[in-house]
Structure 1
Amino acid sequence: MAPGRHSTRPAPRPYRRWAAFGAAAAVIAAGYVVAGSTDSPAPGPGSSLCQAADDKRQMRGAWLTTVGNIDWPSEPGLSAEEQQAELDERLDEAADLGLNTVFLHVRPTTDAVYESDLEPWSRYLTGEQGGDPGYDPLEYAVAGAHERGLELHAWFNPYRVGISSDLETLADDHPVKEHPDWMVRYGGEGFLDPGDPEVREWVTDVIMDVVDRYDIDGVHFDDFFYPYPKDGEEFADDDSWEAHGGGFDDRDDWRRDNVNRFVAGIHERIQQDKPWVRFGISPFGIWRNSGSDPAGSDTNGLESYAAQHADTRTWIQDGTVDYVVPQLYWERGFAAADYEVLTDWWADQVEGTGVDLYIGQAAYRAGEPGWRGDNALTDQLDYSDGVEQVGGDVYFSFMSLTEEAADAFGRLREEYYADPALPPLGDVAPDADPEVAAVRGLNADTGDEGTELTWDAVEGARSYAVYRIDPDQVEAVAAGGVDDVCEALSADALLGVTGTTSWTDGADAEGAYVVTALDRYRVEGPASDPVDPRV
């Protein structure tokens, strides 16, 4: 079986889960507040809280790929204004599609889609590695995503340097120019050697530089660790094996240990510096086949455990990742790697571990034979949506959702994404109090174009969730019972998430509005007093 096509080749291709705690509201003794602002004193963090329904939280993401200019920018050499306009369009599309997370490819080939003192600018911005695009794309993307109520996870390729033609034009300040011994040529490409401790330290420092300087919501790796195998070729790491392989009789075990150490080290550093930043990996869909290991899946394909020395099962068991997104790019019923079989296998691996499971979906395959046209994505979710451990989906790649998979995703949105979803929780205890207080100053003005909501900014708020309570629930809210408030702030009542302090509800609907603030861990704080513009 060929490697998964989410391997970021420049060609078309491809926290722990705790009970959702939050969705709280101030108890209103005498009834809900009518039209106008709600200026009553805001409860402190932790007051009037209730358990939020699990179905209010779900990962809905897409990979926004920069390598080969697959998704963005459309071509190298665009002006800063043109790149920003395209990025704005992608983020608008993400919000319009009902997504809540964008995985932006910020380090495609040991270079940077952000301002860095450690590595050169990516060639996919200007056409020349090291060429300054005239602005900081990651800073711009983070601000734009948060304004739209989206999360932004920074997606890194830890070890890939590039294809042969890239290696001939490396920027003068590229780390491989200073440390040529760090790179191994393999299969017409260059890779940093994961067996060299200096390499692992360097890559860790590069990633933590981004974590520390940017307000990102997550750090994300795909399936590139050791490279996919090439027939008749050996990965030439003899020097690092001889220097650092002591204590291992088997080189493959040593290679897996190199990756395990690296993954664990990244997780530890993030937890120390910014524990609300989630760390996740999207491995190739098969860990091991049951024919190789009884603990493996009932499949018959390439194994990431052997091929890329990626022991994802150990990362889950050790808790060195917050989430996994296995690339299940095969259809239901595919004999060698059945989507249903693999979904169940991955669900079993995360059960009871606190590691979230999201499914990597092959949106790019929507037009291929056997993928059933407009049913291509709904057929997959028809199965995995019923598996309790599956907490959402991530689609490869972004442009596929508006091109070959546009009709398929449109149907999926009607059937599965009709209601918005809050993002998954960060790495917090199930009884954690929010870091934010109740929203105050909620005001609702209804005009010809809908109802315009505004409210006061809440200190420490990462985003805001906007609800409209149906008329038949308003009286229950007015009664002041906490259980009634919890029921009212349901997934059905959620209008959306925003990073601003305003929202326009264009729907011709009746009811009262409630707004809550989410903190950096995505815990939902106490709600505003409801406001009904009709009263």
Structure 2
Amino acid sequence: MRKRKNFILPALTSLVLISCVIFTLCVYNRSNNAKALTESESMAADDGASSGITGSGSAAGPDSVTEPGSATSDSITESGNTEDNNIQNVSSSSSEEMRGIWISFLDFSSKGYTRASFTKHIKTMFNQCQKDNFNTVFVHVRMFSDAMYNSEYFPWSQYASGKIGRSPGFNPLSIMVTEAHSRGLKIHAWINPYRITKGTTSNSALAKSSYAYKWRNSKSPSLRRNVLNYGGQLYFNPSRPTVQNLITNGVKEIVRDYDVDGIHFDDYFYPYLGTDYKKNFDAQEYNSYVKKCRNNGEDAKSIVAWRRNNVSALVKKVYSAVKNIDSSCIFGISPAGNISNLYLKNNYYCDVKKWMGNAGYIDYICPQIYWSFKHPSCPYKKALNEWIDIERHKSVKLYTGLAAYRAGISSKEAALIGDKSWAKSNTILKREIIYARNTEEVDGFIFFDYADLKRRSARKEINNAIKLFT
């Protein structure tokens, strides 16, 4: 396990030179656990703030579904607290520091592209990323159980061709890999594993060739349970082995067929299930699990622990699949930034402490810490320190997701999100990078998202931040 580094005691050094006396004061506040950078007083005063799926990579009948391995349930102990420091030096970026940018499906047109128009669009985006000294692009390749490439398991994305299931006549992911690497950019394929639709449950939103459509409309009650209707949207059922294999096989084909540098999941896992979380969504599968445990004389997990185990089983399975194909390809996850929310009984079900504390789940974690230093309930420093305090396996890196989309917003917009500092400063992102670097525990940053690099009102804040990327 990797714990936070210790610090030396404060030291005072004086140097006398001929007729001048120069005092250099280096104050180090070392605790047993942490080094932290506080906000500089020289910063802005108000700132700171149907078929089944086999596990072998080919489609087969429902009787040939391969059961996924179960994840372990090791608990990880949190350690240490963080105290303030007044260190103001800025560590320069290292060659290995992650300086990433998310390129969302929102950065693509839902009307689709020709090969020429898509290539032009990608060149424009990647040129901007290169100009701003980012070194990695995280591109959306599966947004809604679809694909920005020719997939054996998922239909063509609307954001490639203009219509779900229709080929654009070219391969967007292949173009993106080529254009990224030609600029010295690394490229990670960004996937939403469970989400099928957004804001609709209509069959018209599904390609008839897709597993989502076939399962939802199957005569088999068992296959129909692979797709869940909840909150006006469709989701793959996280508890189903068939679903886990489908998602894993979709990852395998990307790593096998494209020279991507990584696979990336974000924060979309279980949806918020409300007060009836014990009765809805995949509760039917949980009840079957409890009955099976009773019949076998075994103790059943709580529904919360069971759901967390479902997600962890998928994460472990995907990690193994990636490494078995290409050991140099990395797999990581970007969960919501508030750890307390991740461990609620009715949402997410992400056991990030397990993933971070054990080998075999992820290569990195990138919490989305989208708040200023003065957010009333989850300020940046507090949130980041909580992530640093989690014991971390030596193989797992810690990145932070930063809110470029909040840069340069209006006072009204800042008030609506309850984080007024974003309207009063253009140095928040810069100071968040400085603070994170000075902990010596953070290995890089990912900005959300590309569109904000081009947004005029955000550029001053972003320019201040990317000056540190040299």
* Fold agreement, TM-score > 0.5: yes
Query: Residue in 1 aligned with 2:463?
Result: 410
Question: How far did 1:347 drift?
Answer: 1.7
Please state whether the residue corresponding to 1:62 is helix, strand or coil.
strand
Asked if the contact 1:107/1:113 (under 8 Å) is kept, the reply is: yes
Q: Distance in 2 between matches of 1:237 and 1:74?
A: 34
Question: How far did 1:366 drift?
Answer: 0.9
Query: Residue in 1 aligned with 2:116?
Result: 81
> Are 2:262 and 1:218 aligned?
yes
**One of 179, 197, 213 as aligned partner of 1:177:** 213
Please state whether the residue corresponding to 2:439 is helix, strand or coil.
coil
Equivalence map 1:316-465=2 (5 Å): 316-319=356-359, 320-349=361-390, 351=392, 353-368=394-409, 369=414, 370-371=421-422, 372-403=424-455, 404-414=457-467, 416-417=468-469, 419=470
Structure 1 residues 167 and 274 mapped into 2: Cα distance closer, same or farther (>3 Å)? farther
Question: How far did 1:305 drift?
Answer: 7.0
Equivalence map 1:121-160=2 (5 Å): 121-160=156-195
Equivalence map 1:30-69=2 (5 Å): 55-66=94-105
Structure 1 residues 167 and 373 mapped into 2: Cα distance closer, same or farther (>3 Å)? farther
Q: Match for 2:379: what amino acid?
A: D
> Are 2:247 and 1:203 aligned?
yes
> Are 2:128 and 1:93 aligned?
yes
Structure 1 residues 185 and 378 mapped into 2: Cα distance closer, same or farther (>3 Å)? same
Structure 1 residues 202 and 102 mapped into 2: Cα distance closer, same or farther (>3 Å)? same
Please state whether the residue corresponding to 2:451 is helix, strand or coil.
helix
1:477-533 C-alpha deviation (Å, 9 max, x unpaired)? xxxxxxxxxxxxxxxxxxxxxxxxxxxxxxxxxxxxxxxxxxxxxxxxxxxxxxxxx
1:337-395 C-alpha deviation (Å, 9 max, x unpaired)? 12101211212225553210110001101123321342131132232121111011001
Instruction: Provide the TM-score with structure 2 as the length reference.
Output: 0.71
Asked if the contact 1:286/1:304 (under 8 Å) is kept, the reply is: no
Instruction: Provide the TM-score with structure 1 as the length reference.
Output: 0.62
Question: How far did 1:116 drift?
Answer: 0.9
Structure 1 residues 191 and 109 mapped into 2: Cα distance closer, same or farther (>3 Å)? same
Q: Distance in 2 between matches of 1:263 and 1:129?
A: 27
Please state whether the residue corresponding to 2:179 is helix, strand or coil.
helix
Please state whether the residue corresponding to 2:355 is helix, strand or coil.
helix
Asked if the contact 1:195/1:244 (under 8 Å) is kept, the reply is: no
Structure 1 residues 158 and 352 mapped into 2: Cα distance closer, same or farther (>3 Å)? closer
Please state whether the residue corresponding to 1:179 is helix, strand or coil.
helix
Asked if the contact 2:367/2:401 (under 8 Å) is kept, the reply is: yes
> Are 2:334 and 1:282 aligned?
yes
Question: How far did 1:77 drift?
Answer: 3.0
Query: Residue in 2 aligned with 1:4?
Result: none
> Are 2:236 and 1:236 aligned?
no
Structure 1 residues 106 and 316 mapped into 2: Cα distance closer, same or farther (>3 Å)? same
1:225-271 C-alpha deviation (Å, 9 max, x unpaired)? 11134576764213322344545241111100111111111111222
- Hey, which of these two has a bigger chunk of helix by percent? 2
**One of 261, 286, 289 as aligned partner of 2:313:** 261
Q: Distance in 1 between matches of 2:189 and 2:445?
A: 17
Q: Distance in 2 between matches of 1:391 and 1:116?
A: 33
Q: Distance in 1 between matches of 2:392 and 2:263?
A: 23
Asked if the contact 2:273/2:346 (under 8 Å) is kept, the reply is: no
Please state whether the residue corresponding to 1:153 is helix, strand or coil.
strand
Please state whether the residue corresponding to 1:134 is helix, strand or coil.
coil
Structure 1 residues 312 and 243 mapped into 2: Cα distance closer, same or farther (>3 Å)? same
Asked if the contact 1:187/1:230 (under 8 Å) is kept, the reply is: no
Q: Distance in 1 between matches of 2:345 and 2:385?
A: 18
Query: Residue in 2 aligned with 1:194?
Result: 238
1:460-488 C-alpha deviation (Å, 9 max, x unpaired)? xxxxxxxxxxxxxxxxxxxxxxxxxxxxx
Please state whether the residue corresponding to 1:406 is helix, strand or coil.
helix
Question: How far did 1:273 drift?
Answer: 1.5
Please state whether the residue corresponding to 1:160 is helix, strand or coil.
coil
- Hey, which of these two has a bigger chunk of strand by percent? 1
Q: Distance in 2 between matches of 1:355 and 1:322?
A: 5
More divergent stretch after superposition (303-312 vs 103-112):
303-312
Runs of 4+ in 1 over 6 A off after TM superposition: none
Q: Distance in 2 between matches of 1:213 and 1:337?
A: 41
Q: Distance in 2 between matches of 1:267 and 1:211?
A: 11
Q: Distance in 2 between matches of 1:396 and 1:54?
A: 19
Asked if the contact 1:287/1:305 (under 8 Å) is kept, the reply is: no
| Count of residue correspondences | 351
1:370-429 C-alpha deviation (Å, 9 max, x unpaired)? 213421311322321211110110011111122142221111122x11x2xxxxxxxxxx
